[in-house]
Amino acid sequence: MPTLPSVLAHVERTHNQYELRVAGHALLTRNPALLRMLIDRMARLRDAVVALDGVAEPDRQAALALCLDRLAIYEFQLAALDQALAASGPAGVEATHIVARANFVLSRYHRDFGGEERDTRDPGLLAELIAELRQLHARLEACVGTIGEAQREVFSDDLAWMREHAETLQSEHGAILAAQAPEALPTRVSVLAELANSQFDRHRQHFEHQPPISRRPGLLEDMLNNLKDTRARMMALGQLSPTLDHNDANIRVVDKHLVAWQEQLGKLQAIRARSSTTVLLDHFREAVDAELRLYNHSFAEQGRAAPDLVLLGTICDRLGELARQMAPLCDETARTEDHQALEKVRDACTMLTNEWGQLLRAATEDGVEPMV
């Protein structure tokens, strides 16, 4: 037999789903079926409150008001979503997802580059972010060209800021390269060694102890090219001063990684060549669930005096990689579970990116040194 506390607990759980899956997300990225489910669930909880026996009337009215208030929120959101979908169509939905991805790319820039010394940053990673931002801008331009004039105006500001940010990041890329070429050659050796180490760390974060089939070959190819660029800069430094013994040793370490990564890339490409779309999506769903379990264990279930923002940022990055791979494949399949998984990983990218920023701000305000 339900009690008022048990019904209110269900009300809170339902609203938590709304906060997690609807609030704070771009409207056109929301699933109307989810909102209808929340409306149906809250309506049943409202009816349960009305039917409860032995409840003081003031308590019943307070609980009923809570249900009605939240029901009104969900119904308003669904009406707004239905109206937006009717006005924009599938192209508007796709454009909204492109903008959301561009925001994710910028959040990646802020996590890895914001407030850091330029000579410690990876110009190769920044070049990847710039390239993706420009690709997204081109996709948004093409998408906006297929929708009505009124909706085109909605996305004009997005096109502008994406273009402007790409130009700003390109300028920053040049500033980073300049900062990594100090006049003192021994200092330059140390800078390039640290850059190589950061590239090794990034490879470990994305590939070590991860199922190979869920890793994007293009990501490893980018890492290879970045490390080759670092090696070329080391070689040029050696030509300036052949007596830099540490530089020679660093080149040998880099060469070992290049050989191993090239071999790994061949294996990844072979796995992809023999894997069907459905097999890949099955593994991507498993990888998404594994990342969310890691998040729940490390953050949702444990309080942290000093939040591990490195780990949270890594989870964000790996989820972003999975979303990037899943989106085009979901266009090739009608399986409901694949589209639900894509929606889930996109939501998780937004949620955890926001949490990273909130944890950083909270730690700064509390005087706690976060692990970044």
Instruction: Evaluate if pTM is beyond 0.75.
Output: yes
Residue 369 phi, psi (nearest 5):
-85, 105
pLDDT surpasses 70 at 301: no
- In DSSP terms, which residues pair with 371 in a beta bridge? 308
- In DSSP terms, which residues pair with 308 in a beta bridge? 371
Residue written as tokens 């759980």? 13
Rounded Cα distance, 29 and 345, in Å: 12
pLDDT surpasses 70 at 280: yes
pLDDT surpasses 60 at 371: no
What is the rounded (10 degree) CA torsion for 182, 184, 188, 190?
A: -130
Q: Which residue has the higher pLDDT, 173 or 246?
A: 173
Please give the helix or strand (H or E) that residue 283 lies within, else none: helix 277-295
Cα–Cα separations (whole angstroms), residue 76 to 31, 32, 271, 279: 14, 12, 47, 39
Q: Which two tokens stand for residue 81?
A: 């979503």
Please give the helix or strand (H or E) that residue 13 lies within, else none: helix 4-21
Please give the helix or strand (H or E) that residue 339 lies within, else none: helix 336-366
Q: Which two tokens stand for residue 111?
A: 């996590």
Q: Are 308 and 298 in contact (CB under 8 A)?
A: yes
* Per-residue pLDDT at 194: 95
pLDDT surpasses 90 at 86: no
Q: Are 292 and 348 in contact (CB under 8 A)?
A: yes
pLDDT band for position 368 (cuts 50, 70, 90): low
Distance between the two ends of the chain, CA-based, in angstroms?
49
pLDDT surpasses 80 at 304: no
Q: Which residue has the higher pLDDT, 29 or 169?
A: 169
* Per-residue pLDDT at 369: 55
Helix (H, G, I), strand (E, B) or coil at 23: coil
Residues 6+ apart with CB under 8 A from 336: none
CA atoms within 13 A of residue 326's CA, in its CB half-sphere: 28
Q: Which two tokens stand for residue 102?
A: 């561009």
pLDDT surpasses 70 at 66: yes
∠ CA 271-327-111, rounded to 5°: 95
User: What is the per-residue pLDDT across 176-213, written as a single tens digit (0 to 9) for each?
Assistant: 999 998 888 888 999 999 999 999 999 999 999 999 99
Rounded Cα distance, 86 and 99, in Å: 19
pLDDT band for position 148 (cuts 50, 70, 90): confident
Q: Are 332 and 275 in contact (CB under 8 A)?
A: no
Rounded Cα distance, 78 and 36, in Å: 7
Query: Percent of the chain having pLDDT more than 90?
Result: 73
Rounded Cα distance, 206 and 245, in Å: 31
Q: Which two tokens stand for residue 216?
A: 């994007």
pLDDT surpasses 70 at 274: yes
Rounded Cα distance, 299 and 183, in Å: 44
CA 133 to chain centre: 14
Average pLDDT of the residues of the chain: 91
Residues in the chain: 372
Cβ-based neighbour number of residue 57 at 10 Å:
7
